[in-house]
Structure formats: structure tokens, C-alpha cells
Amino acid sequence: MGEHKNETYMSDKIKYEMEFPIKVSSAMLYQYISTPSGLSEWYADNVNSRGELFTFIWEGSEEQAKLLSKKNGERVKFTWLEDEGTNYYFELRIQVDEITKDVSLMITDFADDDEVEEGKMLWENMISELKQILGSV
């Protein structure tokens, strides 16, 4: 493998998925993954949205993401603006078991090969914060 990657073609990111059981109604969970006020409770320090453009703020740094799609009560899918034009996105999807009615939050995200573990740890930390807010510990 040669080292001939330029700015536009970074190394391919790896898709990974995670599942977090959360003991809360799917309707309530949806509010926390789809609205700026809900997301600012656990995902970032502050979240603003203007149409489909969401601005996530962490301790002074800002990242913008575009809402690619959403299905009411079920899922939201974003792409970071810096990833626009690529196939990279992150999706938060609510899955309800048909039989037990157990609710899980499914996360799909992309990271560079050497950052997947770090990415997973970040999600675990954020979701545990979300669970505490929801009283689902």
C-alpha cells in the first residue's frame, strides 16, 4: 500500500454498529435523539438547528451536521458537513422488540481503522449519560 492519499481521499472509514438497550418508551427516546434540546442533554453541550443544519457545540468547538433523513419516532440520520459528498453518516435508530417490547437504541457510525475503539467508547459514555437522564440505569 503506497502513501499516495491526497486531501480529498482520506483512508476509508470503517462502518460499525452498536446496540444499547434503554428502558424507556420509544416516543420519549425519539425526543432525545431528534431535537436540538434533546441532543444537547447528552450528545453535546449545546445544539442549534436551522432547518436541516444542526450545529453541535462542545467546550468551545463547533461541528456542523446535516440531517439526511428522519422517520418520526424511529430514526435520525446525519452526515458531518466535512463528510458531505461521501457515504459516511451516523444514524440513531430506535428498535422495539415485537414480542418483549424492549427498546434499544441502535447506533451506526464510521471511523478510521485506528479510531473505531475510541469511537465506541465515546458512544458508550454518551449513552450512559443519556440513560441516567432518562432514569434507565
Residue 5 maps to a domain: no
Q: What is the CATH number of the domain that holds 110?
A: 3.30.530.20
Residue 7 maps to a domain: no
pLDDT tens series, the chain, 137 aa: 444 444 455 568 999 999 999 999 999 999 999 999 999 999 999 999 999 999 999 998 999 999 999 999 999 999 999 998 899 999 999 999 999 999 999 999 999 999 999 999 999 999 999 999 999 87
State residue 11's pLDDT score: 67
Cα separations in angstroms, 64 against 45, 46, 85: 14, 12, 14
Residue 106 maps to a domain: yes
Looking at the 3D structure of the chain, how many domains does it have? 1
Domain boundaries, position 51: 14-134
Residue 65 maps to a domain: yes
Query: Could you give the CA distance from residue 76 to residue 106 in angstroms, rounded to a whole number?
Result: 11
